[in-house]
Amino acid sequence: MTRGHGAPSQAPGTTRHAVPALARAETRLLLRHPLNLIGSALLGLILLTQSWRWPQDSFRVVTAQMVLEWAVPVFFAANLLGTAVRRAGTDELLSTAPVERAHRTAAACLAALGPFALACLFQAVLLGLCVLFRVDLGRTPTVWELGAGPLCVLGAGLLGTATARWAPRRGAAFAVMVMLIGFNYVVYQTPERFLGFFVEFVLWTGPMWTFVETPGSAFWHAVYLLALSLGAGALAMLRDSARRGLWLGIGAALVLTAVVSGVWQLP
């Protein structure tokens, strides 16, 4: 059958069934992207050069370090992949492909699970090595503290895709990252530091430089990061999906979750 001016019609669900294959391809591209490789290598280098002498410093490296060294490169990698077609000037050619743009966006969002899974594995191996070599961390990090880094890696991949969909102009991704880093720097100086992304869960305090807990809930901080991350994915889908009401509803629920958990995580 044909429709319109002789264009072939698509069987229901044809392009939807292509999403898993597209997601696998996007995941491979994201994992093999030079920026992702550089980010993971940079984090590995920091671990190798870390002295591991002071509990607070070691605890920070284990729980929060990948937010800067890995999540930031993943954001730019996802953004570059999302804008590759536009930068190559092949938008019109891709529009004739038998796959809807919304399904390509869904595949790109699913690809963010690749670096996230790798980051989770990295954290598990790192904690195992710390236990094996009896590294003094002060105390064993909770799963919520260990999950903060991987959740930021997940959010970075989803936000990179969302930025590519909504603002594919040159320099937009850089501006978004500058705003995020600036926001984190501002809240880091306040008692509401858990509203940021790079969070130290333990601190040195004077006058004896003792190892103390940072006031706030690591569990609700993880919920906060997850809600923000999934919200970025919903934002990306909102740009291309025909079911905008659905994604607006999901996005609103995630914003509400982020606000509530953001308040509950504070001391």
Query: pLDDT tens-digit profile of 19-43?
Result: 888 999 999 999 999 999 999 999 9
Helix (H/G/I), strand (E/B), else coil: 215? coil
Name the pTM for this structure.
0.89
Which of 57-61, 63-67, 207-211, 222-226 is the least confident region? Answer: 207-211
Query: Residue 146 phi/psi, 5° resolution?
Result: -65, -30
Tell whether the model's pLDDT for residue 177 goes beyond 90.
yes
Q: What would the DSSP string read from start to end of 1-53?
A: -EETTTEEP--TTTTGGGHHHHHHHHHHHHHHSHHHHHHHHHHHHHHHH----
Helix (H/G/I), strand (E/B), else coil: 139? coil
> In this structure, what token pair is assigned to residue 124?
């598990």
